[in-house]
Amino acid sequence: MKRTYFCPACRATLNPNVKLILTMARGGRRHLILLSPQPGNYAVIVPADVVLRDGEEVDFFCPACGKNLRSGANARLAEIGFRLEDGTKGRVNFSRRYGEHATYFVTKEWIRSYGENAAIYGDANFFGAGGEAES
Nearest of 81, 66, 128, 78 to residue 102 by alpha carbon: 78
Mode of pairing for the β-strands spanning 29-35 and 20-26: antiparallel
Establish if 25 lies at the interface with Zn ion (CB under 5 A): no
Establish if 13 lies at the interface with Zn ion (CB under 5 A): no
Task: Using CB under 5 A, pick the residue from 9, 46, 84, 120 that binds Zn ion.
Answer: 9
Residues 38-97 that bind Zn ion (CB under 5 A): 62, 64-65, 67
Nearest of 26, 18, 23 to residue 2 by alpha carbon: 18
Q: Least CB distance from residue 112 to Zn ion, whole Å?
A: 24
Burial class of residue 54, CB neighbours in 10 A (0-12, 13-18, 19+) = exposed
Establish if 24 lies at the interface with Zn ion (CB under 5 A): no
CB atoms within 10 A of CB 100: 21
Nearest of 91, 102, 82, 78 to residue 37 by alpha carbon: 82
**Please, which residue, 67 or 112, has the CB nearer to Zn ion?**
67
**Please, which residue, 92 or 118, has the CB nearer to Zn ion?**
92
Establish if 7 lies at the interface with Zn ion (CB under 5 A): yes
**Please, which residue, 9 or 34, has the CB nearer to Zn ion?**
9
CB atoms within 10 A of CB 10: 11
**Please, which residue, 62 or 118, has the CB nearer to Zn ion?**
62
How many residues interact with Zn ion (rule CB under 5 A)? 8
Residues engaged in binding Zn ion (CB under 5 A)? 7, 9-10, 12, 62, 64-65, 67
